[in-house]
């Protein structure tokens, strides 16, 4: 197993463990104390019992009992002794990072990619396969292929997978598991309509033979920014994902804001084209704008390096190379982005807008023009930045969510085992 740094483990913004917990029966109190001890270790191991007690706000005897139980459950181990002290040295403890594993999968219009990570968020293995065709069948086959490869890289077997997250376009109702909005899943054609009547989480769980949780890809990219990107430590920010369509993710008061039935941020559904001609920020919209511009150039005899058929990435590459027509198109796109950024800032008060997705790689063509446009319009002017996570943002968020879910399940299983052995 690789010990290379991988996807950052999700932690609270303060990096500390809460010092209070609700009253309850002894088993609940025991579990809460053990969780606090384990979280203290996850945020700063290796630690002695005395340091754990200080960070967790627990007594030393309570920490000692929790450590004993966590060791018996295979979740904590002694890793050495404190150095540089006279007299008896304290034992240092660390969490067992391969006590369980998580799998994160992402479906895009071109590929299915995935990663398996340990409880520290460290990458064990990555896999990717291209989609041969845009169909539900091909997506299912690709998910199975990637998952099988990831499972094969886990040294202790499939039963150690504590959580599996699948990132996909569209909106999943978090309570029912049903798809409520197709989003860019329309790329799958007419068969995508049938997904509306399908419990996607159950279907994928059956297909992959794992307990799967499905999440919106832009929401996960936003969590990725919160965990390990430009949003780390920021209480209120938005992510504008510029890819196949336009989506937004919102973090308010330090947490992802999902909205009613998980549909917050689906700004691509706003019918802007009805009110503002050309206000359609999607790859198709940019391509349509570019096609019209290239056709006009042919008629008028203007020179451009763009050729039909023309796609969004072609436009930005040509603009970066100095093509005047492409630069005009990119300037229009920058105004579109500024419009949505201004709207988000005015409604939510976010202090930062992160541009993510495939177009975010063109920070030299987007950041300053968008910021300049915002200043010209007046009103709230958030900071504009392009994501530094690249195409890792979605999987980073998926791993972060999976780790939180995995730790919950590890404790549930540990509690069940404890009660069974003491009955």
Structural domain spans, the chain:
1-96, 101-221+393-410, 232-388
Which residue is associated with the tokens 């002694």? Answer: 78
Give yes or no on whether 101-221+393-410 and 232-388 have one common fold.
Answer: yes
Burial class (CB in 10 A: 0-12, 13-18, 19+), 77: middle
Nearest to 220 by CA among 34, 3, 398: 398
Residue 93: its H or E element: strand 91-95
Q: Cα–Cα distance between 236 and 253 in angstroms, integer?
A: 6
The Cα 75–Cα 159 span in angstroms is: 16
- Torsion angle defined by CA atoms of residues 346, 351, 355 and 356, in that order, rounded to the nearest 10 degrees: -110
- The pTM for the full model equals 0.83
CATH number of 1-96, picked from 1.10.600.10, 3.40.30.10, 3.40.50.10800, 1.10.10.10: 1.10.10.10
**Which class is domain 101-221+393-410?**
alpha beta
CATH code of the region 232-388: 3.30.420.40
Q: What is the pLDDT along the chain (423 residues), one digit of tens a residue?
A: 444 457 776 554 334 444 444 444 467 788 889 889 988 998 888 999 999 999 999 999 999 999 998 998 888 999 988 765 555 668 999 999 888 999 999 988 788 999 999 998 999 999 999 987 666 777 788 889 999 999 999 987 677 899 999 998 877 776 766 665 555 555 555 455 555 556 777 878 888 889 899 888 999 999 999 999 999 999 999 999 987 668 899 999 999 998 776 667 667 666 666 666 666 666 667 888 888 899 999 889 899 999 999 888 999 999 999 999 999 999 999 998 998 899 899 989 999 999 999 899 999 999 999 999 999 988 888 999 999 998 899 999 999 999 999 988 877 666 555 555 554
């Amino acid at each position: 197993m690789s010990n290379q740094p991988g996807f950052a483990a999700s932690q609270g913004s303060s990096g500390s463990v809460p010092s209070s917990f609700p009253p309850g029966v002894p088993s609940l109190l025991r579990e809460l104390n053990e969780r606090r001890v384990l979280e203290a270790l996850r945020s700063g191991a290796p630690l002695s019992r005395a340091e754990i007690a200080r960070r967790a706000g627990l007594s030393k005897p309570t920490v000692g009992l929790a450590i004993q139980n966590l060791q018996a459950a295979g979740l904590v181990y002694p890793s050495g002794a404190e150095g540089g002290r006279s007299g008896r040295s304290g034992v240092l403890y660390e969490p067992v990072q391969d006590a369980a594993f998580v799998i994160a999968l992402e479906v895009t219009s071109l590929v299915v990619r995935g990663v398996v990570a340990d409880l520290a968020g460290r990458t064990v293995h990555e896999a990717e396969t291209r989609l041969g065709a845009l169909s539900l069948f091909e997506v299912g086959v690709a998910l199975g292929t990637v998952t099988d490869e990831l499972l094969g890289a886990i040294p202790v077997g499939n039963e150690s997978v504590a959580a599996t997250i699948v990132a996909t376009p569209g909106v999943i109702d978090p309570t029912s598991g049903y798809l409520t909005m197709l989003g860019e899943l329309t790329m799958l054609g007419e068969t995508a309509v049938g997904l509306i009547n399908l419990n996607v989480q159950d279907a994928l769980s059956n297909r992959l033979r794992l307990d799967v949780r499905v999440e919106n890809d832009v929401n996960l990219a936003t969590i990725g920014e919160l965990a390990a990107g430009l949003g780390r430590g920021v209480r209120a920010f938005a992510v504008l994902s510029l890819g196949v369509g336009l989506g937004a993710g919102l973090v308010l008061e330090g947490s992802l804001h999902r909205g009613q039935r998980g549909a917050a941020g689906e700004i691509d559904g706003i019918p802007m084209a009805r009110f503002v001609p050309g206000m359609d920020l999607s790859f198709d919209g940019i391509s349509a704008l570019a096609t019209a511009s290239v056709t006009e150039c042919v008629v008028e005899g203007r020179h451009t390096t763009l050729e039909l058929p023309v796609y969004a990435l072609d436009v930005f590459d040509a603009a970066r190379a100095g093509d005047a027509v492409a630069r005009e198109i990119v300037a229009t796109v920058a105004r579109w982005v500024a419009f949505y950024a201004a709207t988000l800032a005015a409604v939510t008060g976010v202090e930062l807008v992160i541009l993510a997705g495939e177009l975010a790689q063109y920070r030299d063509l987007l950041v300053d023009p968008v910021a300049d446009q915002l200043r010209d319009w007046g009103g709230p002017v958030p900071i504009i930045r392009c994501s530094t996570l690249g195409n890792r943002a979605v999987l980073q968020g998926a791993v972060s969510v999976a780790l939180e879910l995995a730790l919950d399940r590890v404790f549930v299983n540990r509690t069940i085992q404890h009660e069974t052995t003491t009955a």
